[in-house]
């Protein structure tokens, strides 16, 4: 037995066989070949292997995930039949005696450069297809076959260095019983995705992909952040017992479906869900969310290799709004940059990405991208109760500029005789201390606030949310953070506006009593924690906590606050 420790990112226990997702080393060297015919045969063979692979993946994805997602593989298969590309490679082998992998890499790059320079979305997509496909063929030529999440056809515990959005797009959620990664923290995107999919996960283990061999039995405990490799019979028995208890607890919590989220003395709040894609809607419905408090739209941009079109976005927003059937849906405009890269935008490398060109800063600069999203949102607004939210707002000018562009696009759509809901609230995320401090001024202009504590904590304590070396300084209950939160809620209430929270803190057992006492109106969290939060809130007394708030805010340290809450408000 080996035990690995990481960060519990999504609760739940699972026992299963490990599936290790490893990126092979695909660096290509050039050499002269002596036998040209043999090299041509080697090339043909790798093409056939790639075709076989892609056909298998395509039919698997079609069956398990949906035809829409399988289209990309049809496009990839077409690349493998393209005579122009294939002949260019063969000519290099024949006339330059170049080895097949180098010949393919050079030829692919030639085509990619031409297609990417064209001002045509379709050709740009072809460039991305060629890049993907040539990688697959090269992997065969080098004898390092690619493993992707679409190769998973059985129930497994998935082990990966990190999980990219493209990996999750191809993942069958019924097969991945648990996720373990080498890197990341509680608020890294693989953690957020596993929570929204309701799959137990442990992130930041440092060396899971090195330590765990494919096929070995693994126990994952997403609550405690532990991973047990090759457990003994006794350990398996112990964890099975724990799993049964968890299941019983889940069954009990189901009784709270359709019950109000109200404290024992009658103070009502809203419990909403955070989602990253329409695929998360099932968990939202199953857990009886009262709305969507954060739709992280960047995942629509990250699980592909080009910008999503207005139509694609419109369809996604429409699906979420209509499924929620009139319940509030807060959709956040694009938040990339920081740890969320969009390689196809070729954003400049930055020394401090979290303080750099991200989110609303990027959207205001690249308003061509921003306007497409706003049009899609406005068009979808007639299908439900849409609220638009801008991320990473640091100044009032940014909010005003973003809102101005939104209103311009609304006017454009109306001029095109398109229907737009007339009643869309426009709010901001409060994630930057300057905005929290100036909340009284912002509250006069915005319709609502949603506090993004994942970022607000890192900026307040200057402790990078991804950096394990400073994770002890990433303190959610630090009185400075709590005071900022109070200031934001009070400022909104003074202007009759509402405040939500969509950072992880909103679903945290220790934070919930404090946030309730501070008067937070909406708590938005991963759907799988909603019923647990409802249970907790129904057993808390709002008035009683209200009387303790001053004491709590006068504590001096994170740990003092935590101990106080545990002692007084957690049974």
Annotated catalytic residue 363: no
The answer to whether 229 and 241 are in contact (CB under 8 A) is no
Q: Is residue 185 a contact residue for Mg ion (CB under 5 A)?
A: no
Q: Is residue 431 a contact residue for ligand PEP (CB under 6 A)?
A: yes
- Residues from 356 through 385 that contact Mg ion (CB under 5 A): none
Taking CB within 5 to 8 Å according to partner kind, which of ligand PEP, Mg ion, none is near residue 398? none
The answer to whether 142 and 28 are in contact (CB under 8 A) is yes
Q: Is residue 452 a contact residue for Mg ion (CB under 5 A)?
A: yes
Q: Whose Cβ is closer to ligand PEP: residue 64's or residue 280's?
A: 280
How many residues interact with ligand PEP (rule CB under 6 A)?
A: 11
End-to-end CA distance of the chain: 34
- Residues from 292 through 311 that contact ligand PEP (CB under 6 A): 294, 296
537 burial via Cβ count (<10 Å: 0-12, 13-18, 19+):
buried
CA angle 60, 66, 71 (to 5 degrees): 80
Cβ-proximal residues to 367 (8 Å cutoff; 6+ apart), any chain: 405
Q: Is residue 107 a contact residue for ligand PEP (CB under 6 A)?
A: no
- Residues from 484 through 513 that contact ligand PEP (CB under 6 A): 502-503
Taking CB within 5 to 8 Å according to partner kind, which of Mg ion, ligand PEP, none is near residue 502? ligand PEP
Taking CB within 5 to 8 Å according to partner kind, which of Mg ion, ligand PEP, none is near residue 296? ligand PEP
Lay out the site mask for Mg ion across 396-435 (x = CB under 5 A, - = otherwise). Answer: -----------------------------------x----
Annotated catalytic residue 502: yes
Options 64, 167, 182, 455; binder of Mg ion; rule CB under 5 A = 455
d(CA 227, CA 8): 10
The answer to whether 33 and 93 are in contact (CB under 8 A) is yes
Residue 369 CB neighbours (<10 A): 19
Catalytic residue among 60, 76, 161, 189: 189
Taking CB within 5 to 8 Å according to partner kind, which of ligand PEP, Mg ion, none is near residue 409? none
- Residues from 438 through 467 that contact ligand PEP (CB under 6 A): 452-455
CA 300 to chain CA mean position, Å: 10
> In terms of residues, how long is the chain?
571
Q: Is residue 358 a contact residue for ligand PEP (CB under 6 A)?
A: no
CA 504 to chain CA mean position, Å: 13
User: Read out DSSP for 522-566?
Assistant: EEEEEGGGHHHHHHHHHTS-HHHHHHHHHHHHT--SHHHHHHHHH
**What is the helix (H) or strand (E) element at residue 450, kind and residue range?**
strand 448-451
Q: Is residue 187 a contact residue for ligand PEP (CB under 6 A)?
A: yes
Enzyme catalytic residues: 189, 502
Positions in the binding site for ligand PEP (CB under 6 A): 187, 294, 296, 335, 431, 452-455, 502-503
Positions in the binding site for Mg ion (CB under 5 A): 431, 452, 455
């Amino acid at each position: 037995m080996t035990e690995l420790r990481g960060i519990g990112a999504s609760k739940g226990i699972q026992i299963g066989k490990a599936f290790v997702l490893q990126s092979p080393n695909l660096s290509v060297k050039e050499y002269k070949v002596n036998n040209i015919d043999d090299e041509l045969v080697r090339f043909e063979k790798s093409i056939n292997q790639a075709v076989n692979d892609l056909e298998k993946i395509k039919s698997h994805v079609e069956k398990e995930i949906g035809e829409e997602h399988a289209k990309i593989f049809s496009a990839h298969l077409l690349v493998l039949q393209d005579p122009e590309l294939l002949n260019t490679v063969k000519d290099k082998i024949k006339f330059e005696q170049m080895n097949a992998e180098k010949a393919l890499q050079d030829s692919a790059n030639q085509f990619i450069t031409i297609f990417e320079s064209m001002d045509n979305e379709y050709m740009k997509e072809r460039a991305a297809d060629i890049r993907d496909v040539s990688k697959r063929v090269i992997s065969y030529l080098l004898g390092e076959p690619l493993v992707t999440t679409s190769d998973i056809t059985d129930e497994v515990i998935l082990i990966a260095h990190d999980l990219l959005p493209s990996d999750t797009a191809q993942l069958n959620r019924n097969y991945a019983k648990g996720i373990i990664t080498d890197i990341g923290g509680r608020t890294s995107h693989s953690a957020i995705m596993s929570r929204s999919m309701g799959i137990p996960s442990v992130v930041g283990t440092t060396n899971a992909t090195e330590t765990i061999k494919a096929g070995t039995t693994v126990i994952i405990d997403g609550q405690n952040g532990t991973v047990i490799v090759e457990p003994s019979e006794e350990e398996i028995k112990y964890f099975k017992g724990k799993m049964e208890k968890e299941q019983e607890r889940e069954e009990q919590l189901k009784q709270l479906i359709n019950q109000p989220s109200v404290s024992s003395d009658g103070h009502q709040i809203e419990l909403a869900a955070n989602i990253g894609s329409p695929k998360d809607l099932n968990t939202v419905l199953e857990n009886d969310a009262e709305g969507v408090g954060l739709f992280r739209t960047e995942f629509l941009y990250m699980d592909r290799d080009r910008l999503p079109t207005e139509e694609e976005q419109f369809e996604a927003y429409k699906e979420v709004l209509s499924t929620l059937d009139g319940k509030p849906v807060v959709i956040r405009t694009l938040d990339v940059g920081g740890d969320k890269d969009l390689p196809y935008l070729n954003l400049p490398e930055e020394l401090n990405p979290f303080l750099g060109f991200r989110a609303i800063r990027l959207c205001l600069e690249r308003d061509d991208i921003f306007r497409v999203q706003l049009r899609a949102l406005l068009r979808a607004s007639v299908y439900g109760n849409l609220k638009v939210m801008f991320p990473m707002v640091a100044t009032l000018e940014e909010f005003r500029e973003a809102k101005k562009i939104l209103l311009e696009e609304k006017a454009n759509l109306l001029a095109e005789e398109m229907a737009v809901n007339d009643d869309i609230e426009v709010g901001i995320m409060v994630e930057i201390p300057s905005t929290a401090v100036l909340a009284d001024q912002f509250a006069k202009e915005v319709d609502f606030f949603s506090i993004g504590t994942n970022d607000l904590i890192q900026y307040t304590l200057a402790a990078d949310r991804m950096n394990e070396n400073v994770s002890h300084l990433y303190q959610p209950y630090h009185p400075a953070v709590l005071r900022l939160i109070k200031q934001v809620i009070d400022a909104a209430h003074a202007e009759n506006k509402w405040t939500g929270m969509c950072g992880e803190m909103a679903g945290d057992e220790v934070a919930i009593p404090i946030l309730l006492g501070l008067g937070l109106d909406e708590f938005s969290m991963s759907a799988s924690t909603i019923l647990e939060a409802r249970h907790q809130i129904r057993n808390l007394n709002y008035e009683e906590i209200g009387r303790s708030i001053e004491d709590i805010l006068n504590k001096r340290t994170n740990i003092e606050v935590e101990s106080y809450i545990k002692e007084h408000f957690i049974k």
